[in-house]
Amino acid sequence: MPDAIATPERLYQSVNFADKLAKIHDHWQPRVMAEMNDYQFKIVKILGDFLWHDHPDTDETFIVLDGVLRIDLRDGHVLVRAGEMFVVPRGVEHKPYAEREVQMMLIEPRGVVNTGNAGGDMTAEVEALTKALTTTGIPPGRRRKRAGNVIDL
Ligand code: NI
């Protein structure tokens, strides 16, 4: 009898922001890189001016990985630098701005539209992107969890 039965060891994969960012070559197109319950972690590069909008049903979290993000609010603005985050409360109008390219992560519930109630040309089809980035091709709502529910980007 062997002393111990060898158990195959599973190698779990962490999400590396730099690896994900290296695959993004456009601006203002958030990609879902992971989900937690009903929340999505989106990675995006931005440059220049966005449009005024708000999200009537949810707060929105910005975590800056590189660069300096400026978020204009109707009564002021905030500068969010690499290693910093800011939460825009639900229903508060905001306009992100990046004088130079900013790389950042957004955290918000599944299905939130980047332009909120404003619509227009800058509206990203995040759900389509999510499907395109999912190796299994299973829509987000029906995807079964893998470790950390990581979506390949
Ligand atoms: Ni927003």
* Topology of domain 17-149, CATH: Jelly Rolls (2.60.120)
Query: Where would I find the beta strands (DSSP E) of 27-138?
Result: 31-36, 39-49, 60-66, 68-73, 76-81, 85-88, 94-109
Query: Which 8-state DSSP code applies to residue 106?
Result: E
Enumerate the domain spans of the chain.
Answer: 17-149
Residue 119: other Cβ atoms inside 10 A: 11
Tell how far the Cα of 44 is from the centroid of ligand 1, in angstroms.
13
State which residues have CB under 5 angstroms from ligand 1, the bound ion. Answer: 60
Q: Is-above-0.85 flag for pTM?
A: no
For 37-94, write each residue's pLDDT tens digit. 999 999 999 999 999 999 999 999 999 999 999 999 999 999 999 999 999 999 999 9
pLDDT over 60 at 26, yes or no: yes
Tokens at 91, concatenated: 């229903």
State how far Cα 116 lies from the chain centre. Answer: 15
Q: How far is the CA of 14 from the centre of ligand 1 (A)?
A: 27
